[in-house]
Every structure is written in structure tokens, then in C-alpha cells.
Homo-oligomer: A and B are copies of this chain.
Amino acid sequence: MFTQTADQDLLETTTEQYLAATFPPERIREFARRDSTFDATLWKRGAELGWTTLLVPEAAGGGSVSGNGLADLLAVAFQFGRHAAPGPLIGTNVVAAALGRWGSGELHGGPLAQLLDGDATAAWAHAPRMGSCASAVVRAARSGDGVVLDGTAPLVESGAPKGYLLVAAGADEDGARSHYLVPFDAPGVRISPLGGIDLVRRHQAVTLREVVVPAAYRVGEPGTADVHDEVLLDLAAVLQAGEIVGAMERAFDLTLRWTRDRYSFGRPLGSYQEIKHRMADLRTQLEASAAVAEKAARHVGEDRPDARSWASAAKAYVGRVGPELVQDCVQLHGGIGVTFEHDLHLYLRRATLDAQLFGTPAYFAERVVRLVEADMEEGA
């Protein structure tokens, strides 16, 4: 769907081949019955394909294939969406990006290297919301050489047994917060699994009780967490949009084939004009979604001044039309489309999950307006 360099095409193709072979739909349904969907070997192989390094500067051990690592990763996310694949792709990459940009040397040598190698995964505790209910609330206090963290992160992604959580914490609720990296196996970290809509991408609630992390596990200068969360949110929004576009593409493709193969009253379903026009609408939405996701990946990946508007528009638009497109595909399939054994719901689940986590489409539409207002202030 995207205009890419030959190297990006290669990355996408190898990812596609690996996911198609590893996670055919029957496998996804089978995974769904398991308690844990993380497979260390499979993830490690993904890391070898390049899934974890793209947002990390070369100096920190990463590297992109085109100079714009986010644009590279967009193709990987797209394929994750097309296969509704398990694996903490977005969280791990977002946290790796944070560590690569703002992490200490100690973090680069330890956790970041593990993330890049596929030996560990990471989750990001940020969960922006429209309402007055905060998401993660964590307090930080100094204690000798380390920092003591107390609080909860009620909705974070599950991953490898060896994992890290990037969480913002402040001395008091309104004060400037800093990012800390918390190993999930640190004493005082309590995890409880959550239910959810996606069959294979799982989530959990995390409680921190007097969890001590070394001072070097602060990520970025003190008080920068809120600003950095916004930067990371741009990355997450683009990657989610990429996954959703993948889910849309696969659902659309299945449906186009269905309209050819399925006959109704002696005619192919696709010969009915109403069906044709709906497919035309869906195709246009798919193209528009791919276009804005790609544009956002370009602008955010290149740190352009209007990058945040593009990232927000991408999530606002793709997050809104993506699940609706898949629902229309379900409708066009009729009864079979709401059965567990048909594949469509795999893509509906993924598109819906991505649309709602890390800020809803409505949240990003609001963010677009805030950005315009800020521009007007500056202009005035």
C-alpha cells in the first residue's frame, strides 16, 4: 500500500513471509485459547528480521533501512495488522525509541540492548484519555542511589517474561514528571492479567509497591516525561494507524474476493450496484488511510514541524474509519462474517483495539484542534 524504497520493500516482504508462515489465521485462533501468547523464539526471530531496531539511533545500537526508521517500521506494523499477529511490536519500539533518544549509557548497554536483540520486550504506560479519570498514576521518591516508585498502571501490554515498563512518575500528582524504566521482575511489581477484544495481543494491570529502580533508570532529564510522552504518542499513533491499515487491507481483500465468488439470485454479489458502490467507498477509505499513515510516518520520522498534526490526523481518521470498514466487510459477508471460524473478526479485533488504545480517534481529533490553536497563538 505504501510507496517505499527497495530496502523497505525487502523488509516488508521478509516480514510478510515470516508472519504468513508463522501466524496463519488458524494459528491465531489456536493462540487465542492459550494463557500466554508470547513465544520467545518467534519474537527473537522477528528481532533478527529488524523489527526492534528501526526507531533507535545507530549510536545506540539501532538503525533504519531508509534513513526514516518510522517509515520502515510502518511497513512492519502494516503486516502485523494484515496477520493480526501477536507480539508487543508497538510498545517495544516506542520504549526502545525513548531509551535510544533519552536513555543513559547504562540503559543502552542493558535493557535497550535486550530489546534490540529480542531478548526482552517493553510496554509503555501512557494512556491518554478525554475524561477526568487519569490512567497511570505513579509517585516517585528518591532513596539513596535509587528511586522508589509507588502507584498503578492499570492498562499496559503483556510481553516477554523479561520485560520493562516505561512509566511517568512525579513527586506529586501535578508536578513535572519524569520517565522511569521498571523491570517487570523488580520486587514490588504486581501484575494481573486483563481480558480484551484482541485474541492474541494481551494486556495487564500493573501495581508498583515500593519498587526501587537505580537512578540511571530515569529516562531523560528530570521533568521531561510529559513532553516525551507526546513525542512517543506520535510514534504510537503512526504505528497503530499502520496496523489498522493492514487489518483493513486484509478484510477488504477477503471481501472483494467474496463478492466475486458468492452468488445471490444467480448473479455474483459483486454485480449488484449497491455492493459495488460500497466497495468503492471502502477502497477509497483504504487508500486514504494508507496515504495519511504514510504521510504521517514520513513527517514524524523526519521530525518535520507539522509532524504532530499529521500523526494526530492519521490516528483520528484511520482509527475512525478502520473498524467501520471491517464492520462493513462483515455485513457484506452475512452470517458467516460473525462466526468465530471465519477470519474477518481477527482484523476487526485488531483494528478496534488499535483505534481505542493510546488515545481514541476522538482524542486525536481534539489534539488536532489544540495544534491549530497553538499555531494561531504563535501567529498572533
Contacts and interface: CB of A to CB of B under 8 A. Distances in A.
Interface in A241-293: 272-274, 276-277
Contacts of A273: 272-274
A273 to B, nearest CB: 4
Contacts of A272: 273
A269 to B, nearest CB: 12
Stoichiometry (number of copies)? 2
A84 B272 CA distance: 37
Interface string A58-85: 0000000000000000000000000000
A276 B276 CA distance: 14
A53 to B, nearest CB: 49
Contacts of A277: 274
Interface string A170-208: 000000000000000000000000000000000000000
Nearest to A275: B273
A276 B272 CA distance: 11
Interface residue range, chain A: under 10
A274 B272 CA distance: 8
Nearest to A277: B274
Contacts of A274: 273-274, 276-277
Contacts of A276: 274
A273 B274 CA distance: 6
Nearest to A272: B273
A74 to B, nearest CB: 34
A281 to B, nearest CB: 11
A272 B274 CA distance: 8
A276 B273 CA distance: 10
A33 B234 CA distance: 54
A273 B273 CA distance: 5
A2 to B, nearest CB: 31
A127 B55 CA distance: 55
Nearest to A278: B274
A275 to B, nearest CB: 8
A277 to B, nearest CB: 5
6 contacts: A272-B273, A273-B273, A273-B274, A274-B274, A274-B276, A274-B277
Interface of A: 272-274, 276-277
| 5 interchain residue pairs of minimum CB distance | A273-B273, A273-B274, A274-B277, A274-B274, A272-B273
